[in-house]
A and B are shown apart, each in its own frame.
Chain A
Amino acid sequence: MAKTISTKELAQKIINHTKIIILDVRNTDEFDNWKIEGGQVEVINEPYFNLLDSVDPVANKLSKDQEIIVVCAKGGSSEMVADLLEEEGYITVYSLEGGMKAWSEHLEPIKIGDLKEGGSLYQFVRLGKGCLSYFVQSNGEAAIIDTARMTDVYEEFANEKEVRIKHLLDTHLHADHISGGRKLAEKVGGTYYLPPKDAEEVTFDFTPLQEGNDIIVGNTEVKVQPIYSPGHTIGSTSFIIDDTYLLTGDILFVRSIGRPDLAGLAEDWVGDLRETLYSRYKELSNNLIVLPAHYSFAEELGEGGEVSARLGDLYARNEGLQVEGEQEFRKMVTENLPPQPNDYQDIRRTNMGKIDPDQEKQKEMETGPNRCAVEG
């Protein structure tokens, strides 16, 4: 029987830039749509049903003494293929426990830095989907920004750090994943904040995010300062934390910019997006460290697995920030929109409280990459 590897162990290997070979045995359409990426990962695809009689189709792509991680949708086929490879004399073969379904849910906390008056900031990287959420803790209290659906991970982390989760903030109404903010707020007796302009159709109570109403974490000076920055959605709000970090939500990424069409029409909001990127953010300090809500390219993962960049550097090298003319910008954005995220309309409805799919359905809705950025 081949050994299994957990999503946590795989995440560590990717973040540590360990060289690994992944054999993805899902069918090729699924593989092309979404796969494991990052660090020093080399991934090859051969559907499991082509390997039932013999592993010959992959024999010339793998060597018997290298470590191979076999991956499928849920972990069943990868286990079978890992066993077949072992029988053929491959020495170190693992099957990814739970497959891509489990991979999509894994959250890896990475420390971004200490805060001036005590406390620290963590980025939770969802490697399987490219989603980033943030955990700010100071003096026994915590705030979470863009909480993922897997709320138990943050609860365990808060217990470990011995802090109480008090504030749950979403930068906007998400279209690519189901927010865990409201659920966790209810569970821990915290406050759930949303931008009011994104929340016109929501069916539950929330606290509106307003510029000027800073949120204080702990008794110290850790300020979470909302900045209205529309463009990805009409309500999109950024946060400046501790005068050092700029959480840009889905407006500005490290390698690209947010798409304006998931909650309406690209044509309508592209002007807002340009205004935010080319005027509002320009007034901020170039030294702010940008921390986005997503990444789309494996190369965006830094040395320690974190995703971040200095605002001034992004003005120099992010292609989405180099297009001066308004018409040119409009063209660049509207002509480079990738396919929408899986089930994005139902995900939005779930985040508004209009529908309440069961857990299994929610997992299924979230499969695939986030696709929140303009490509190109």
Chain B
Amino acid sequence: MKSTKVLDAKGLACPMPIVRTKKAMEELNSGDILEVHTTDQGSKSDLTAWAKAGGHELLKDTEEDNILKFWVKKG
């Protein structure tokens, strides 16, 4: 999947992954795709709920070697 921007939030604890994601998203245009990498297990449910609340679309998420990756399309 082609992402407009990649945000590395690995090693950050809650709430920082979402804080950084929100900030990065503000710099993108509607329809752009932000790819987020985190290591905080809690970010999965939080990112899903945050995207939903903000009108963004979580296109895909993966987990490999304890690294969570998310692709979020800006709404």
Binding site for B on A (CB under 8 A): 27-30, 47-50, 52, 72-74, 76-77, 80
Whole-angstrom distance between the alpha carbons of A80 and B12 in the complex?
A: 14
Given A29-B45, A30-B45, A52-B22, verify A72-B14 contact (CB < 8 Å): yes
Interface centre among B19, B46, B50, B54, by most A CB within 10 Å? B46
Q: A52: shortest Cβ distance to chain B, in Å?
A: 6
B: contact size bracket = 10 to 19
Label chain A's interface by main secondary structure. helix
Does B1 lie at the interface of the complex (its beta carbon under 8 Å from any beta carbon of A)?
no
Chain B residues with Cβ below 8 Å from A49 are 15, 18, 22, 46, 49-50, 53-54
Name B's A-contacting residues (CB within 8 A): 13-16, 18-19, 22, 42, 45-46, 49-50, 53-54
Q: A49-B22, A49-B53, A52-B22 are in contact. Are A27 and B15 (CB under 8 A)?
A: no
Residues of chain B with a CB closer than 8 A to A47's CB = 46, 49-50, 53
Residues of A within 8 A of B49 (CB): 27-29, 47, 49
CB pairs A–B below 8 angstroms (11 shown): A27-B45, A30-B45, A47-B49, A48-B15, A48-B18, A49-B15, A49-B22, A49-B50, A72-B14, A72-B15, A74-B42
**In the complex, A76→B46 CA distance in Å?**
13
Closest 8 CB pairs of A and B: A27-B49, A77-B15, A49-B50, A76-B14, A49-B18, A76-B13, A77-B14, A48-B15
Excluding A72-B15, A74-B14, A76-B15, 16 further A-B contacts by CB distance (< 8 Å) are A27-B46, A27-B50, A47-B49, A47-B50, A48-B18, A49-B15, A49-B46, A49-B50, A49-B53, A72-B14, A73-B14, A76-B13, A76-B14, A77-B14, A77-B15, A80-B15
B22 contacts across to A, CB distance below 8 A: 49, 52
- In whole angstroms, how far apart are the Cα atoms of A29 and B42 in the complex? 13
CA distance A73 to B50 in the complex (A): 15
List residues of chain A with CB within 8 A of the CB of B50.
27, 47, 49
Specify the chain A residue showing the minimal Cβ separation from B41: A364
| Residue of A27, A72, A80 most packed against chain B (CB within 10 A) | A27
